[in-house]
Structure 1
Amino acid sequence: MTAHSIEGKTVIIAGGAKNLGGLIARDLAGHGAKAIAIHYNSAASEAAAEETVAAVKAAGARAAAFQADLTTAGAVEKLFADAVAAFGRPDIAINTVGKVLKKPILDISEAEYDEMSAVNAKSAFFFLKEAGRHLNDDGAIVTLVTSLLGAFTPFYASYAGTKAPVEHFTRAAAKEFGERGISVNAIGPGPMDTPFFYGQESPEAQAYHKSAAALSKFSKTGLTDIEDIVPYVRFLVSEGWWMTGQTILVNGGYTTK
C-alpha cells in the first residue's frame, strides 16, 4: 500500500448507496480499495445500499451499509465510530450528501431553509470534523458541492447558498489537516442526470440545462453524467493528492468562476 494509491485503502462514503455515491463506491472497489463503509440516509435507500454493498464485495473489497440522518453532529460521530469499528480508521472520506430546492426566495419557509442548511452545510461541516478526527495520515477528503456556486441565477438561493459555506470549510480543513498529509477538496458538478435533477425542473428548464454546457452535445444526456465525475474523485483521493483546499467545477463548461 502506497500513500497516494487507492490500493489497500479504507473508504467511507456518505450518500454512498446510489447515483454518484454508489458509482464512486463501485469504482474505488474496482481500483483496489480494501474496505468501503457505505452510508445511506433512510429506509428508502436501504435496498440500493445493499446492492452497492454486494457490488463492492463482488469487486473484492469488504463492505457494509450504515444508516444515519447526518443532520446532527451525534449522528455523524456515530457513523464514523461504527465504520471504524467495522473496518478500522479510514484513509479516504467522501461526502456526496445534498438536497436541492428550486424556489423563489419569497416562497421559502423557515423550516425549508433550516432543512437545507442542515443537509447541505451542517452535515458537511461535521463530516469534515469527524473525517479530520478519524482519518489516517496521508488521507484524502472530498465533498460534493454544486456548479451553481459559479452561477448568477434565481431560484436556487437556498441550495447554492447552503453549499457555499463548504468552500470555506474545505479551505480551513485543508490548512488544519495538511500537517498530517491529508488533502481536502470539493467538487462542484453541473446539473447531473439523476432523479434529484428531474424532480426539481420543468420540461423547459430541463431542455435549457441539457444545452447550456459548452460540451453538452458530447454528453449522453446533455447533462453532467455521473460517470464523468467519478474519475475526478478518484484522482483527488490518489495521485491528485497535491491539490488541496480547492473547489473544482466539473461541468463541461456550464459555469465558471
Structure 2
Amino acid sequence: MMSISSERVAIITGASRGIGASIARRLASDGMAVVVNYAGSEKAAAELVDEIVNAGGRAISAQADVADPRAVRNLFDTAEAEFGGVDVLVNNAGIMKLAPVAQVDDADFDEMMAVNLKGTFNGLREAAKRLRDGGRIVNISTSVVGLYLPAYGVYAATKAAVEALTHILAKELGPRSITVNSVAPGPVATELFLEGKAPAMIERLEQMIPLGRLGEVDDIARAVSVLVGPDGGWINGQIVRVNGGVI
C-alpha cells in the first residue's frame, strides 16, 4: 500500500506557472516534496520553489524539455538524488496552437506532437519503470476532447492520444498499485488561455459553462490532489473532466 507520509515525492512537469504551478503548491501543502519542472522559465520556477520552501514545504526546480527522453531520465535522476525516489508524476507540460486543420503549420503540428504527446509518453515510460509501488500518475488532458471545437483539431488529437495511454497504462501498472488517471480541464483563466482572446469570445465561453464562470487553476489542482492523495487509491484509468459541466 502507498505510504501517506511526507516522504512522498512528486514531479510536476511544466510547473513554473499556470495550472502546473497551482498543482505544485497544492501537493506541497499536502505534504509532498515537489520537483518543479520547467522548460525555459527558470526565474518563475525558482520563485515558486522559494514560495513553497518559505511556507515550510520541500521543493526543488529542475529544467527539462519533456520532448527529450534523455532530459526526462535526468529529471527522474534529479528527483531520486534529492529526495530518494519518486511516487507521483503529473504530466502537465503542454502547448496549444490553434488553427483550422487546413491552415495548420507543419512546425506547429510537430511541436504539439513533440511536447503534448511524446513529452507525456516520455514521462509515462520513465514513471512506469521508476515510480515506487503504490504511486500515482495524472496526465493533464483537455475537455476539448469530446467537445471537438473548430481550430482545436491537432491539440485535441494529441490529448485524445494521451487519454488512450492513460487507460492502457492504468491496466499495465495496476498490479503494482500504481493508479493512472487524466484530469481534463475545461476553460481555465490562465495566461495561456486568455492570450489573444477578445472579451466577447471569453464571455461566450463562460456562457457555455453551466456553472457560469471560467475555471481557476486551483479547481484543477484540487482534483489532482484527490487523485494522488490517500482518498484516490481506487480511482484508476479514469478521465476526470473538471469543466463546470461542459459536456
TM-score range, shorter chain: over 0.9
Q: Percent same amino acid at aligned positions?
A: 39
Partner residue of 1:22? 21
Partner residue of 1:9? 8
How far does the alpha carbon of each residue in 1:151-179 deviate from its partner, in whole angstroms, 9 at most, with x for none? 03211001111111011111111111111
Partner residue of 2:221? 230
1:183 to 179, 193, 200: 179
Unaligned ranges ≥5, structure 1 = 217-221
Q: 1:76 to 1:200 in 2, by over 3 A?
A: farther
Equivalent residue letter for 2:176 = R
- Residue 6 of structure 1: CA displacement? 6.1
Q: 1:6 to 1:102 in 2, by over 3 A?
A: farther
Partner residue of 1:245? 237
Q: 1:202 to 1:103 in 2, by over 3 A?
A: farther
1:141 aligns to 2:141 (yes or no): no
Equivalent residue letter for 2:236 = T
- Counterpart-to-counterpart distance in 2, 1:249 and 1:4: 27
Alignment TM-score, normalising by the size of structure 1: 0.91
The Cα RMSD (Å) is 1.5
Q: Are the aligned partners of 1:6 and 1:237 in contact in 2 as well (CA < 8 Å)?
A: no
Tell me the number of residue pairs that the alignment of Structure 1 and Structure 2 aligns.
246
Moved over 6 A (4+): none
Residues 1-257 of structure 1 correspond to what in structure 2 (within 5 A)? 3=2, 5=4, 7-33=6-32, 35-42=33-40, 45-216=41-212, 222-238=213-229, 239-255=231-247
- 1:70 alignment partner, SS class: coil
Equivalent residue letter for 2:150 = P
How far does the alpha carbon of each residue in 1:1-39 deviate from its partner, in whole angstroms, 9 at most, with x for none? x72636331111111112111111111211211x21110
Q: Are the aligned partners of 2:136 and 2:228 in contact in 1 as well (CA < 8 Å)?
A: yes
Q: Are the aligned partners of 2:209 and 2:244 in contact in 1 as well (CA < 8 Å)?
A: yes
- Counterpart-to-counterpart distance in 1, 2:125 and 2:196: 31
- 2:25 alignment partner, SS class: helix
